[in-house]
Amino acid sequence: MKPWSLILPERLWAPLERHLFPGDGDEHGAVIGATIFETSRGTRLLARQLFIARDGVDYVPGERGYRMLTASFVGDRILDCRDHELSYLAVHCHGGQDSVEFSSDDLASHERGYRALLDISW
């Protein structure tokens, strides 16, 4: 399997980093709209749009985990991405400094939500 990479231009990376890591140690969320490119070296996702999830409005206390994106935010962002032919990438932070890993809540959320995201986006 060839590797995947996500490329964020500075104009998107800087506000995303500020939003996810404001120094409060809490979780924050966003959605990235990206174009997919297949290359001989792997798949590249080029970030085109950033949608910041507002704490307490779009990113709220979770029903099954610690936090969650609201259904209306997800639905609106899926449609934005679909309309602009972008892939939908939901992102959030867990704290930490030097590693990335899905939590058990993240994996369970993917199982519950994947089919619904496909239904909305088609």
pLDDT (tens digit per residue) in 15-73? 999 999 999 989 999 999 999 999 999 999 999 999 999 999 999 998 888 888 999 99
For the full predicted model, state whether its pTM sits above 0.75.
Answer: yes
CATH number at residue 104: 3.40.140.10
pLDDT band at 94 (very low <50, low <70, confident <90, very high): confident
pLDDT at 99 over 70: no
Residue 120, pLDDT score = 63
- Say how many domains are in the chain: 1
Domain that holds residue 16: 4-121
Please give the DSSP secondary-structure letter assigned to residue 15. H
Q: Which of 4-8, 27-31, 32-36, 106-110 has the lowest mean pLDDT?
A: 106-110
Sign for the CA dihedral angle at 55, 58, 60, 65 comes to negative
Sign for the CA dihedral angle at 25, 98, 64, 119 comes to positive
